[in-house]
Amino acid sequence: MIYAKRKWNKLIEGYNWKGDGKVGGKEDEEVGKTETIMARPGILRGKENNLVKELKETTLSLEKLAERYGVSRQAIHAFWKRQGIKRPVRLKGHQTGECRLCQKLIQISKKSHSEFISIYTIAKETDRARATCSYHLRTLRDRGLVSQMFGRLFSKRFEKAYSMYFTKRLPINTIGQRVGIKDFQSLVQRHRELGFDVPPPFLCL
């Protein structure tokens, strides 16, 4: 029990714990139990890929993830171990809750289609240098406090094109021509592949 607790403490600190065999049968038993939880319909079904992504890309605690996915902390832990995922180390020393820039960035990220706000506009709205914004954005993304794609658009022109895409009922190529992008259609495709959530045309009006 004490051992399990110590192990858990290491996990929430973002410590990359490697099994050393001390847990033995207890661990197996835990995993077995989890398989049942995971197999129950409607709980994690279909969300495994999302969970893998969040385990890989964020430092959200297992507790927070458990809450988010509606399963036990142990279930998340077993899933993580079974998948052999290496988690990023939690950045220390920056209190996003007390940082005015981080709070402002979170606020901007809550706007609709905020993934398509360019870093230039973000810098302008926060009245800070782009590099400064990027640093704080990285921390926020690592902690899962903003979308993984927020602050990753590095072109004012793309921002303009997407703004038209979301507000005007225009064919995609017309938008491209108006803002001077040769093949906006393929650009949209490329952004989708990168992970930007581009809705189908017109559905977002």
The one among 77, 136, 143, 191 contacting Zn ion by CB under 5 A? 136
As measured in angstroms, the least distance from the Cβ of 101 to Zn ion is 5
Burial track 34-58 (b if 16+ CB lie within 10 A, e otherwise):
beeebeeeeebeeeeeebeebbeeb
Q: Which is nearer to Zn ion, 101 or 108 (CB)?
A: 101
Give the chain's radius of gyration (CA, Å). Answer: 21
Contacting residues for 44 by C-beta, under 8 A, at least 6 apart? 37, 38, 51, 69, 71, 75, 79
**What are the structure tokens assigned to 158, written together?**
């793309």
Q: Is 137 in the site for Zn ion (CB under 5 A)?
A: no
Q: Which stretch binds Zn ion (CB under 5 A): 65-73, 92-100, 143-151, 154-162?
A: 92-100
- Cα separation, 94 vs 34, in Å, equals 34
Structure tokens at 81: 């171990």
Question: Which is closer to Zn ion, CB of 101 or CB of 149?
Answer: 101
Supply the minimum distance, in Å, between the C-beta of residue 126 and Zn ion: 10
- Rounded Cα distance, 204 and 89, in Å: 37
* Total residues binding Zn ion (CB under 5 A): 4
Question: Judged by CB, which is closer to Zn ion: 7, or 128?
Answer: 128
- Provide the mask over 95-134, with x wherever binding to Zn ion is found by CB under 5 A and - wherever it is not: ----x-xx--------------------------------
Amino acid at the residue 114: S
Residue 11-40 contact track with Zn ion, rule CB under 5 A, x = bound: ------------------------------
Contacts with Zn ion, residue ranges (CB under 5 A): 99, 101-102, 136
